[in-house]
A and B are shown apart, each in its own frame.
Chain A
Amino acid sequence: MTPLRVSIIGAIAAFIMLGVIFELIRRRHLRERYALIWVVTGLALLTLALWRESLNTLAGWAGVKTYPPSIFFAAILFFMLVLVLHFSIVLSRLTDQNVTLAQKLALLETRLREREQADSSGDDD
């Protein structure tokens, strides 16, 4: 069972995290899809802190016998890996879109400049 003091500190940390997340959503610093991930994460951490048998129970399900809290570290690590992979995918897509935008912008600029030159030289005649 999680010691009372650890449980209280964990709960406070989770509340602070949820507070920060709500503030970020309120200021529109987080898009909805990320906001949802972080709210769920914050709630999961709060649950783990308040439900003091949680780690033993979860470790029991997963068959961890020696050191139950390791299930917590394993879960966090896996979650972060998935998140980082997701960000790599997002970053790749944004990079591709950025390249396409830069190309189209440059091509339109060229077209505009050449049209304007053609127009102004036409006026001179």
Chain B
Amino acid sequence: MAGVIDEIRAFDSAFEIVVIDDGSGDNTSEVARARGVHVVTLPFNLGIGGAMQTGFRFARMNDFDLAVQIDGDGQHDPAELPALLAPLQRDEADLVVGSRFAGQPTFRSSFTRRIGIRLFAFTVSAIAHQRLTDTTSGFRAVNRRGIALFAAEYPQDYPEVEATVMVVKHRLRLKEVPVRMRERAGGRSSITALRSLYYITKVLLALFVYLFRSRKAPLEDE
């Protein structure tokens, strides 16, 4: 994580970096604080969705124009930030997703994961009426409208796919850009082979339920 912070700094020192420590109980918060970035330490583990939403709430609270979510394990390369941010700066999209597959295939993963990723891509593409290749990517950026939506509501367990559908259902614009991803330097994927089936079922069910949801998140709150 410290490496990622340094890389972002080296790339552009003007970025405000926020580290969300999801009740890790280790020295994550201290290490990050020592580097002088914003650190939000959750009192207990909220899971990926709850932690991610905390970041968007921070962005909303501090009136940020843009927010990028980037994993602390080093698989997302800060050098790809211009590609990710360009559509937002040109006001072509409200959410930009960095896709491993939209461009050259530089990323390899297991068979079950590829099946899942293809299945989600197919389903979400159908819902969104646009071709999407990588809906599980956690390397993404949003503008003010995206920040407002995600601060108001964010899915919990395996949030990326559902968040993508949320954006579409709220009539926000979605765009995929090809990015190069690296092998993660530290930590492991939260999705092991055994959990893949549960993951796929849960997310598809969540998408199905979401299509019939009555309540939409209020975009213009506060």
Q: Is the CB of B40 within 8 A of A110?
A: yes
B205 at the interface (CB under 8 A from A): no
A16 at the interface (CB under 8 A from B): no
Task: Compute the total of residue contacts between A and B using a CB distance below 8 Å.
Answer: 35
Q: Is the CB of B43 within 8 A of A106?
A: yes
Q: Is the CB of B39 within 8 A of A103?
A: no
Rounded to whole angstroms, the CA-CA distance of A83 and B143 in the bound complex is: 44
Q: Is the CB of B41 within 8 A of A99?
A: no
Beta-carbon nearest neighbor of A111 in chain B: B61
Residues of A within 8 A of B156 (CB): 99
Which residues in chain B, 37-74, are within 8 Å of chain A measured between CB atoms?
A: 38-44, 46, 50, 53-54, 57-58, 61
Beta-carbon nearest neighbor of A104 in chain B: B57
| Max chain A Cβ within 10 angstroms of own Cβ: one of B53, B54, B156 | B54
Which residues in chain A, 67-112, are within 8 Å of chain B measured between CB atoms?
A: 99, 102-107, 109-111
Q: Is the CB of B46 within 8 A of A105?
A: no
Beta-carbon nearest neighbor of B54 in chain A: A103
Beta-carbon nearest neighbor of B47 in chain A: A99
Residues of A within 8 A of B41 (CB): 106, 109-110
Q: Is the CB of B43 within 8 A of A102?
A: yes
Given A99-B46, A102-B50, also A107-B58 (CB < 8 A): yes
Contact with B58, one of A99, A102, A105, A110 (Cβ below 8 angstroms): A110
Interface of A is mostly: helix
| Max chain B Cβ within 10 angstroms of own Cβ: one of A99, A104, A109 | A99
A114 at the interface (CB under 8 A from B): yes
Q: Is the CB of A103 within 8 A of B42?
A: yes
Q: Is the CB of B57 within 8 A of A102?
A: no
Interface of B is mostly: mixed
Contact with A107, one of B44, B46, B50, B61 (Cβ below 8 angstroms): B61
Beta-carbon nearest neighbor of B18 in chain A: A110
Residues of B within 8 A of A102 (CB): 42-44, 46, 50
Rounded to whole angstroms, the CA-CA distance of A96 and B199 in the bound complex is: 21
Q: How far is the CB of B152 from chain A (nearest CB, A)?
A: 11
Residues of A within 8 A of B46 (CB): 99, 102-103
Q: Is the CB of A107 within 8 A of B40?
A: yes
Q: Is the CB of A103 within 8 A of B44?
A: no
Q: Is the CB of A110 within 8 A of B38?
A: yes
Q: Is the CB of B38 within 8 A of A106?
A: no
Q: How far is the CB of B183 from chain A (nearest CB, A)?
A: 31
Q: Is the CB of A114 within 8 A of B61?
A: no
Beta-carbon nearest neighbor of B53 in chain A: A103
Residues of B within 8 A of A111 (CB): 61
Beta-carbon nearest neighbor of B43 in chain A: A102
Q: How far is the CB of A96 from chain B (nearest CB, A)?
A: 9
Interface residues of A (CB under 8 A from B): 99, 102-107, 109-111, 114
Q: List 19 A-B contacts (CB under 8 A).
A: A99-B156, A102-B42, A102-B43, A102-B50, A103-B50, A103-B53, A104-B57, A105-B43, A106-B41, A106-B42, A106-B43, A106-B54, A107-B40, A107-B58, A109-B41, A110-B39, A110-B40, A111-B61, A114-B38
Given contacts A102-B44, A106-B42, list 5 more A-B pairs with CB under 8 A: A99-B46, A99-B50, A106-B40, A110-B39, A110-B41
Top 5 A-B residue pairs of the complex, sorted by shortest distance between their CB atoms? A103-B54, A110-B40, A106-B42, A106-B40, A99-B50
